[in-house]
Amino acid sequence: MIKNKLTTNDQKNTPKEYWKKNFQEIPEVLTPDEVAKFLRVSEEFVSELITNGSIKTLKGTQNRIFKGFLFAYMTQNSPQEVGLMGGVSSDLKEDLSVGF
């Protein structure tokens, strides 16, 4: 006999762990703890990444990370290469009139 797998309201309303979320589901601005949970590493490791400049923080803060900066780190690109911090994507450098 196969048991029905029913989800209760409690299970539906329980927030997902950060590492189980799609990138689009995480907040736009994250703390080092939230980044650590998403990457499944220690918060100390994230602090080291921030200190050595691998993950950028928002100007004027030491502990707020824009989701785009996390994306740049995860794709091993600089923020400028993914179109952040005044950069232009390498795909658009050749023809800056694209879309205008």
According to DSSP, residue 7 is labeled: P
Mean pLDDT estimate for the chain? 74
| pLDDT value at 30 more than 60 | yes
Residue 49 binned pLDDT confidence (cut-offs 50, 70, 90): very high
Asked if residues 36 and 42 have their Cβ atoms less than 8 Å apart, the reply is yes
The three-point CA angle 28-30-36 to 5° equals 130
- Mean predicted confidence (pLDDT) in 67-81: 83
Rounded distance, CA 39 to CA 54, Å?
Answer: 14
Reported as type and span, the H/E element at residue 66 is: strand 65-66
pLDDT digits (tens, 9 = 90+) for 55-67: 989 888 878 999 8
